Amino acid sequence: DGGITQSPKYLFRKEGQNVTLSCEQNLNHDAMYWYRQDPGQGLRLIYYSQIVNDFQKGDIAEGYSVSREKKESFPLTVTSAQKNPTAFYLCASSGGGTDTQYFGPGTRLTVL
Amino acid sequence: GQNIDQPTEMTATEGAIVQINCTYQTSGFNGLFWYQQHAGEAPTFLSYNVLDGLEEKGRFSSFLSRSKGYSYLLLKELQMKDSASYLCAVPPGTASKLTFGTGTRLQVTL
């Protein structure tokens, strides 16, 4: 049963703490992406990776970091430098000869 | 750069037909995607158009005109479960990235 998983679904953190969001896929996709969505707004690209051990900044990378040590995994760390971290975070992947991106269920992060 | 415009909100009646428009300006063109997103959930893929014309997939159809920088999503026989946001997205020159519009929130009423 192939797909993309994100955990946890809801996450609460205190201001000033770093937090890491998990994203795993078993679709054998080469490319993975992280987006942020704020209420009433579209998706904004944070980071993306087209191949293992390589990643590029998206439109709003400041205050975030990622790693891509395995093809299946693309964790996102929200650092204390991110000014407004409360948002809905979505991970996606693409591959298999198409550019269609498929999304995980998302993690809703609330910083108190 | 990329610029994508969609209406913010639309309302339609159950059983009716609704057309959701999307206009775009891109430095390069590698196709156009439509996604559906229910409140609080992840987007799900609906369609991908790379050539001009209409592509039909059940109750949903998507149209593209590359010369006009224009696409629309047509939903027929509307059902209450179609109440969702519909996102238009285009890849810039690097095809693997997507730039999303802000989405059109569709409310289906009785």
Q: What are the tens digits of pLDDT across the range B33-76?
A: 999 999 999 999 999 999 999 999 999 999 999 999 999 999 99
Closest C-alpha to A6, from A110, A103, A106, A94:
A106
Q: What is the DSSP string of A70-91?
A: BTTB--EEE-TT-S---EEEEE
pLDDT tens column, A5-50: 999 999 999 988 999 999 999 999 999 999 999 987 889 999 999 9
Contact between chains at A42 and B30 (C-beta distance less than 8 A) = no
Of A1 and A100, the structure prediction assigns the larger pLDDT to A100
pLDDT at A99: 83
Contact between chains at A100 and B101 (C-beta distance less than 8 A) = no
Contact between chains at A104 and B42 (C-beta distance less than 8 A) = yes
Kindly identify which residue of chain A lies nearest to residue B46, measuring between CA atoms.
Answer: A100
- Whether residue B69 lies within 8 A of chain A, CB to CB, comes out as no
Mean pLDDT (chain B) is 92
Kindly identify which residue of chain A lies nearest to residue B86, measuring between CA atoms.
Answer: A42
pLDDT at B10: 98
Instruction: Give chain B's count of helices (H) and strands (E).
Output: 0, 11
pLDDT tens column, B94-106: 656 888 999 999 9
Mean pLDDT (chain A) is 93
pLDDT at A22: 96
At B36, list the tokens. 């559906």
Is-contact B75 B9, C-beta < 8 A?
no
The mean pLDDT of A84-106, rounded to a whole number, is 92
pLDDT at A41: 82
pLDDT at B94: 60
User: Which residues of B fall within a CB distance of 8 Å from A54?
Assistant: none
Say how many C-beta atoms besides its own lie within 10 A of residue A27's C-beta: 16
Is-contact A34 A76, C-beta < 8 A?
yes
